[in-house]
Structure 1
Amino acid sequence: MFTNSIRRKIMGIALALIVLMALTSVLSLVMVRRVGDRFDELTAVHVPAYGSLARAHIRSLERALALRRLVIETLAPTLDATNFEETKKTFLAKGLEVEREVAAARASMAALIGEGGSFEDQKAFVRLDSRLEALMTGPRRFLNEEIARLLAAIEAKDQRAVADGLVRVDHLRDEVNAQFEAIRAEMLVLLRADGRATLETQQHVMWVAAVVTLLAAALGVVFSTLVSDGVTGPVRRLLEGARAVEAGRLDHEVAVTTHDEIGHLTHAFNQMVEQLRQKARILDTFGHYVDPRVVQGLIDRSALGADGQRRVMTVLFCDVAGFTGTSERMTPQGLVKILNSYFSTMSAPIRENDGVIDKYIGDAIMAYWGPPFHADGDQTQLACVAAAAMLERLESLRASFPELLGMRSAPISFDIRIGVATGEALVGSIGSEHMMNYTVVGDTVNFASRLEGACKHYGVRALVCERTARAADAVVETREIDLVALAGQEKPERIFEIMGRKGALSAEQSALRTRFAEGLVAYRAGDWDAARSAFTAGLCAAPADGPSHLFLRRLEQMSAAAPADAWDGAWRLDEK
């Protein structure tokens, strides 16, 4: 049963209940019919037989009364012939009625004996029939003979013979009546016994019908419970498995205990979980090489399509400054430790701020923010906060190198440069038919790379484009550095330095930003003296400020060779 389909199980339950109901109904009908037959037997045979016997007894008494009247009329002084004849006819008619009623009673008893009831009933009716036959052929025949002689004496008007005959008739009549009364009493006892037996049978039938109905109901409930448990049990286990998967537990496998639709569904569920496990393994494995969101999107094929799309993206480049010469003097094992520590430390802020690390290029990191992973309003702030956090972790990274290399001190020249740019870029799976890479390409990417390279020229660690600086003004502190056309650019753009998180500047940094901004205004207006004075004041707040030293050197050049009249304050930087 439990290997069948759910449809067959349900049909089996229904058919089993129908069969149980049918058996109960048939059994009840059979037993009720037996009771009905007993009632029919009582009403159609027992009661009529007793009634016929009772009427025969009554007619016998009426016949005796009619005979008495005949005798009385004979002894009267004057004989009324008409009344005498009427009384004689009544007497004769009652005798015939006695014969008919006795015959009817015996016929009913013969029918009961012939139909076959219980053995005791058959014996009782055979005994009653024999007694009736003995009564009719014995005492009653003698009574009839005496009555015939009495009637002859009456017609002969022999009063002495009439008196003697009447004594003999009374004696025989009493005997006949006594036997009739005994037979009737025994018949009544038998009738009452059969009535009680019929009522008991009826009660028995009712109890049996109730017990059978309850038994059928119990069997139906037990059978339905077994089948329903066979259906709901696997469903419950399947539901628990689904909840486990929903909770992220992919090690849960549901046992297949049936071969119905639920069993097939359970097998399919286990296969689905196995595919999810494989998918999770893929995500876990390739998540170390490619950002898990990219892997997930490529697996789903719905979030990331193969066709490229132009979207506004924010791109970050981070590179190590002054490390090439030092790395050439290090052992490969030491270099790997330093690079792994560097990548781990600098990648963490990017991941913490929801960035997508696109690739590691030598000792450089390329990351991006934007659709479909970020909204346009969030990407620049996340990127700039990540850049600020990377700058904050630089000193702790440097401090870890001696312990990492097993040295008391590690004379390693190590610094970083960061470039961040926001703009339109091409996003998608790019590559050959054999190998693809989901990445970002375009002028924005090149601009971010140029900004990272320009950090060396300006002596700063983090440069961003104007669009990025304006959009991230709520989370980081910036200062405008220059209006410059980087290598590969025709139109100059304003570039800014990330100085720290919003509201975290020191007094010296605030003073430097103010003096440097004043110097830029004077510089672009061609007021070299005012510009020189402002940049020098900035160096008083921050003596090592690279942009201030750079602009002071430019001012020396400007003083020697003034720019053209159409000069707009922009600078062209051809080196990458």
Structure 2
Amino acid sequence: MFRSSIRQKIVGIAAGLIILAVVTSLLSMVMAGRVGHLLDELTNRYIPAYGHLARVNVRALERSLAMRRMMMAKMQGPAEDASYETARKSFEEIEPLIKHEADAARQLIDAIIADPSTPSDNAALGRLDDRIDNAVNDLLVRLNAENKTLLEQIEAKDIAAARQTSLRADVLRDEFNTRVDAIRSDMLAQVAAAAATVMGAQQNAIIVSAVVTGIAAILGFVFAMLVGSGITGPVMRLLEGTRAVEAGKLDGSITITTQDEIGQLSAAFNRMIETLRNNQRIRETFGRYINPRIAEGLLDQPAIAATEGQRRVMTVMFCDMKGFTSLSEGVTPRGLVKIMNLYLSTMSEPIHAHRGIIDKYIGDAIMAYWGAPFVEENEQTHLAALAAIDMTGRVAQLRKDLPELLGVRAIPTDCDVRIGIATGEALVGSIGSEFMMSYTVLGDTVNLASRLEGANKYYGSRSLISEATAAGCADTIALREIDRLIVVGQTQPQTVFEIMGQKDALTPAQTLLCQHYAEGLAAYRARSWDDAARAFVAALEAVPGDGPSLALKARVESFRQNPPAPGWDGAWRLESK
């Protein structure tokens, strides 16, 4: 049944219910016909037979009354001859009526006995028939003989003899009436028995109809429940599976229990879930090579892959691992992979946490960017600076984790990070060839960020940012102006700043460092070499080993020996990347 279509199931249920209804109706009709047949026999045979027997009694009494009227008329003389004739006429007319009623009763009783389709006490009815025959053919014959003699005596006006004959006739008439009463009483019992049979049959018909109707209803309900559960069960499983998919759960499937349309729909649903699981695996795998937000955009909106590049203001970050070359020389290839995975994971988390897009890994370098459509333009510099602060804050833990990862007591070099951030107009979009595309950023801003990352080597700093980046995050980030640089590939100087931390979070030593460094930088640009040297020394006393202070102090000493040209504007040109 569960291999049938839904239409066939519904038609089957309807057909089954119709068949049950027809069977119930047929049984009811048969039972009703049976009751009707019994009731017809009761009405047209039993009761009329009893009526004929009752009228035999009545006719016998009427005949006796007519005889008495005749006697009274003769006793009163010729004046009552008319009454006598009337009574005699009535007397003579009643006799055939008695025989007619008796014969009619016998015919009905014989008809009941002869009908095998109805239950009846045929033996009792046969005895009744015999008793009627005896009463009519025996007692009535003798009574008629006495009545004839009585008529002759009355005609002869032999009143004394007539009285004697009348007494004998009364005895015969009483016996006849007694027998007829007994017959009628027994017939009444048969009528009652027939009525009880009719009532019993009617009651049985009601019970059978009720039972059959109940069985039909139960079978119909069971049928409907079986087929209904075969339909609603898979539908409910489909609904639960749909809700699970809506909630993002793609690890389940629906059990197929039918071969109908719902079973086919369930199979299609399972195939859809499998496709979604494959797509999810593709997304997860794709997201390991391309930023998940870019991957989502490329998968959900394939047209983005064909979008031409757009010029937008973007903030670009480059991060490199200090001492990577010397570190890689002392470990095995497997150990190097472990170091790279740990380092890149540690430094990538802050970028991801601050909504940055990791564009690519270049060896031990990380390139990331912020900007539309991923973040608002007015918050990109702030997020990039926060990511840089978080990244430098993880260096201490990275230094602890690397020896444990490699199984050594100490790493051969003191690792650190160098970060460069620049903000400006860049080309953004899907860039590449017909064979391969990459959603990335290009332009001078990208080059500047890369150069600033490299400039950390010269200044001994961790994170240098461009002037545009500093202008965008100065309200929330504590910065220190480092220098005016002309990086490789550019001709115009850039004011470069170092990220010190979040505002109002600097230590007193850092605050004093920034103050002395600013004094030294101003004196340096004014060519006051002695004042500049004293300021940078004071800065180093505040924070010993400060890289920018050491670099500028060394440069001041160099300018003391070889002063810059007269048109010097305070900018420093980097000769290497």
Are the counterparts in 2 of residues 303 and 372 from structure 1 also a CA contact under 8 Å? no
- SS of the residue 1:509 aligns to: helix
Partner of 1:387: 388
**Identity %, equivalent residues:** 51
Call closer, same or farther: CA 1:493–1:147 in 2, change over 3 Å: farther
Output the CA distance in 1 between the equivalents of 2:514 and 2:417. Answer: 22
Output the CA distance in 1 between the equivalents of 2:331 and 2:164. Answer: 167
Q: After the TM superposition, which residues 343-492 of structure 1 pair with which residues of structure 2 at under 5 Å, given as runs?
A: 343-376=344-377, 379-402=380-403, 404-405=405-406, 407-412=408-413, 414-473=415-474, 476-484=477-485, 486-489=487-490
Q: After the TM superposition, which residues 50-89 of structure 1 pair with which residues of structure 2 at under 5 Å, given as runs?
A: 50-89=50-89
Partner of 1:94: 94
Superposed displacement of residue 137, structure 1: 2.9
Q: Residue 137 of structure 1 aligns to which amino acid in structure 2?
A: N
Superposed displacement of residue 147, structure 1: 2.2
Superposed CA RMSD? 3.5
Partner of 2:509: 508
Q: Residue 391 of structure 1 aligns to which amino acid in structure 2?
A: T
Q: Residue 257 of structure 2 aligns to which amino acid in structure 1?
A: T
Output the CA distance in 1 between the equivalents of 2:209 and 2:509. Answer: 104
Output the CA distance in 2 between the equivalents of 1:359 and 1:507. Answer: 38
Output the CA distance in 2 between the equivalents of 1:193 and 1:326. Answer: 120
- SS of the residue 2:289 aligns to: coil
Aligned residues: 573
Superposed displacement of residue 74, structure 1: 1.4
Partner of 1:142: 142
Partner of 1:171: 171
Partner of 1:320: 321
Once the two structures are superposed, what CA deviation does each residue of 1:455-482 show, in whole Å capped at 9, x if it has no partner?
A: 3344321122344334445664322334
- SS of the residue 2:259 aligns to: coil
Superposed displacement of residue 65, structure 1: 0.9
Q: Residue 394 of structure 1 aligns to which amino acid in structure 2?
A: V
Output the CA distance in 2 between the equivalents of 1:492 and 1:86. Answer: 163
Partner of 1:48: 48
Q: Residue 60 of structure 1 aligns to which amino acid in structure 2?
A: A
Are the counterparts in 1 of residues 323 and 413 from structure 2 also a CA contact under 8 Å? no
State the TM-score, normalizing by the size of structure 2.
0.86
Output the CA distance in 1 between the equivalents of 2:157 and 2:517. Answer: 178
Call closer, same or farther: CA 1:518–1:50 in 2, change over 3 Å: farther
Are the counterparts in 1 of residues 418 and 462 from structure 2 also a CA contact under 8 Å? yes
Partner of 1:189: 189
Superposed displacement of residue 64, structure 1: 0.9
Are the counterparts in 1 of residues 529 and 556 from structure 2 also a CA contact under 8 Å? no
Once the two structures are superposed, what CA deviation does each residue of 1:355-379 show, in whole Å capped at 9, x if it has no partner?
A: 3332211221112334554454554
Once the two structures are superposed, what CA deviation does each residue of 1:22-64 show, in whole Å capped at 9, x if it has no partner?
A: 3223322332332233233323332222122212211211111
Contiguous gaps of at least 5 residues in structure 2:
none
Are the counterparts in 2 of residues 323 and 413 from structure 1 also a CA contact under 8 Å? no
Call closer, same or farther: CA 1:24–1:482 in 2, change over 3 Å: farther
State the TM-score, normalizing by the size of structure 1.
0.86
Are the counterparts in 2 of residues 154 and 162 from structure 1 also a CA contact under 8 Å? yes
Call closer, same or farther: CA 1:338–1:73 in 2, change over 3 Å: closer
- SS of the residue 1:138 aligns to: helix
Output the CA distance in 2 between the equivalents of 1:162 and 1:70. Answer: 11
Partner of 1:205: 205
Is the counterpart of residue 561 in structure 1 residue 565 in structure 2?
A: yes
Superposed displacement of residue 261, structure 1: 2.4
Superposed displacement of residue 70, structure 1: 0.7
Partner of 1:227: 227
Call closer, same or farther: CA 1:131–1:208 in 2, change over 3 Å: same
Once the two structures are superposed, what CA deviation does each residue of 1:89-126 show, in whole Å capped at 9, x if it has no partner?
A: 32233334334433443443344345444353444444
Once the two structures are superposed, what CA deviation does each residue of 1:192-220 show, in whole Å capped at 9, x if it has no partner?
A: 11112222222222222222222222222
Superposed displacement of residue 318, structure 1: 0.8
Output the CA distance in 1 between the equivalents of 2:504 and 2:12. Answer: 77
Output the CA distance in 2 between the equivalents of 1:124 and 1:329. Answer: 128
Q: Residue 43 of structure 2 aligns to which amino acid in structure 1?
A: T
Call closer, same or farther: CA 1:195–1:445 in 2, change over 3 Å: same
Superposed displacement of residue 341, structure 1: 3.7
Q: Residue 514 of structure 2 aligns to which amino acid in structure 1?
A: R
Call closer, same or farther: CA 1:68–1:489 in 2, change over 3 Å: farther
Output the CA distance in 2 between the equivalents of 1:421 and 1:103. Answer: 134
Are the counterparts in 2 of residues 116 and 122 from structure 1 also a CA contact under 8 Å? no
Q: Residue 21 of structure 2 aligns to which amino acid in structure 1?
A: M
Q: Residue 314 of structure 1 aligns to which amino acid in structure 2?
A: T
